[in-house]
Amino acid sequence: MRMYDVIRKKRDGGKLTAEEIRYFIEGYTKGEIPDYQASALTMAIFFSGMDEEETLELTLAMADSGDRLDLSSIPGIKVDKHSTGGVGDKTSLALAPLVASCGIPVAKMSGRGLGHTGGTIDKLESFPGFRVDIGTDTFLEQVRRIGISIMGQTAQLAPADKKLYALRDVTATVDNMSLIASSIMSKKLAAGADAIVLDVKTGSGAFMKTEEDSLALAREMVKIGTGAGRKMRAVVSDMDQPLGRAVGNILEVREAIDTLNGSGPADFTELVMTLGAQMLLVGDKAGSEEEAADLLREKIQNGSALHKLEEFIEAQGGDASFVADPERFPKAKIIRNVLSPADGYVERIRCDEVGMSCLTLGGGRENKDSVIDLTVGMILKKKVGDPVKKGEPIAEIHAADEAGFSAAADRFLRAYSFSEVRRDPGELIKARIEGR
Ligand code: URA
């Protein structure tokens, strides 16, 4: 087989065979196929597309390019969850201990944040001493013992995707539905869970800006997972404004703790409950959404979910006393309000500008080696549809110094627009998709 012929076939709109896809992925992972041929093929895929069968083959080939995590030593149905990411998305921090307290084994690999969105691993490091590089054996043993562990993604998880994603990033070939779906699902399949619940974001702060595209991506990923023998469900949820009120690592951890205490913001609580219900359904812990919601509420009300978070933090070396007493978390030096420049209603909050404002404060990563300030960020006091008066606080910014506050406040104000007539923010949950 020659790479030249594979590229030419796809360029001319042909359908690649499983052998041709495996040949490409194996050769590229080993370094036998050069970047220029891989970029030519991804560009050909970008223009000619791939059908369902090709997309599944590409996903499986990438999932097989490194280690596949074997979770068979953990009893029960292992359910993983994945979010396509957004601003203020601290869902895993609350959801993982909540479903674990309902008896779903959570063996999750998570990533760090890059750019204007944060990562679960960075947020967890808000707990002093918390370790993410615990090794697979400890990870599995912990899930067997307490039902939950979250570790950093290993380099050996779908290395073909890692290499190809980096290449797509610099060759303008990221935004293709088949390539995105196969990239995400290759990592999920390699991570070994029996069932996967996806949270596909939609709106200005999401990868997919329109509901139509988000729905198509969700359906594509559900098809891939089902084709690979996994139980699948997906939710399309709003990311047209930040999720919840907190943005920034420690602030988001505190909001997740509040939510497990039953006092989180309404939108974030709704998302956690919706995804939690889907996880209990695929994990056979509930027979209906209502039954699942009752069980989740019970675990929040009787303190089991919060206790599971404490057990989890402690098991990975973190100081769990912060869960019961979040006031102990360090705070930024400057905590100051940003005031509304107008009367009326909040019409829009651009997620990318809020994310960039947090990045300006030092709360995110400009590049892989950036050091994050865990204390900085913002608490949104006004969200879309809320009435506001000129001079009233719209948010509280947590900054390390005056210069940081000024730069972040300027940027933050750019995120907001106001109107005289109230705009309805719309439903948080746009769609639910079930696998076969
Ligand atoms: N996230 C991924 O992991 N891969 C993509 O291609 C896009 C988003």
Does any ligand 1 atom lie closer than 6 A to the CB of residue 184?
A: yes
How many CA atoms within 13 Å lie on the side-chain side of 216? 14
Q: 3-class SS at 283? A: coil
Does any ligand 1 atom lie closer than 6 A to the CB of residue 180?
A: yes
Does any ligand 1 atom lie closer than 6 A to the CB of residue 358?
A: no
Q: Closest Cα to atom 1, ligand 1: which residue?
A: 184
Which CATH code fits 331-419?
3.90.1170.30
Out of 1.20.970.10, 1.10.1510.10, 3.40.30.110, 3.40.50.300, which CATH number does the structure's domain 3-49 have?
Answer: 1.20.970.10
Question: Which residue shows structure tokens 């796809």?
Answer: 10
Per DSSP bridges, beta strands 231-238 and 429-434 are antiparallel
Q: 3-class SS at 432? A: strand
Is 168 marked active-site?
Answer: yes
Measured between alpha carbons, how far is 109 from 62 in angstroms, rounded to an integer? 17
CATH 2.120.10.30, applies to 79-325+430-434: no
Which residues are registered as beta bridge partners of 200? 236
Q: Closest Cα to atom 5, ligand 1: which residue?
A: 180
Which pLDDT tens digits describe the chain residue by residue (436 residues)?
A: 999 999 999 999 999 999 999 999 999 999 999 999 999 999 999 999 999 999 999 999 999 999 999 999 999 999 999 999 889 999 999 999 999 999 999 999 987 766 666 689 889 999 999 999 999 999 999 999 999 999 988 888 999 999 999 999 899 998 899 999 999 999 999 999 999 999 999 998 888 999 999 999 999 999 999 999 999 999 999 999 999 999 999 999 999 999 999 999 999 999 999 999 999 999 999 999 999 999 999 999 999 999 999 999 999 999 999 999 999 999 999 999 999 999 999 999 999 999 999 999 999 877 777 788 999 999 999 999 999 999 999 999 999 999 999 999 999 999 999 999 999 999 999 999 998 7
Nearest atom (ligand 1) to Cα of 180: 6
What pLDDT score was predicted for residue 302?
97
Instruction: Check 162, 187, 299, 411 and give the catalytic one.
Output: 187
What pLDDT score was predicted for residue 207?
84
Measured between alpha carbons, how far is 361 from 377 in angstroms, rounded to an integer? 7
Backbone φ, ψ for residue 193 (5° rounding):
-70, 160
Residues 232 and 82 sit within 8 Å (Cβ to Cβ)? no
What pLDDT score was predicted for residue 114?
63
What are the structural domain ranges in the chain? Answer: 3-49, 79-325+430-434, 331-419
Residue 409 tokens, joined: 């406040």
Nearest atom (ligand 1) to Cα of 174: 6
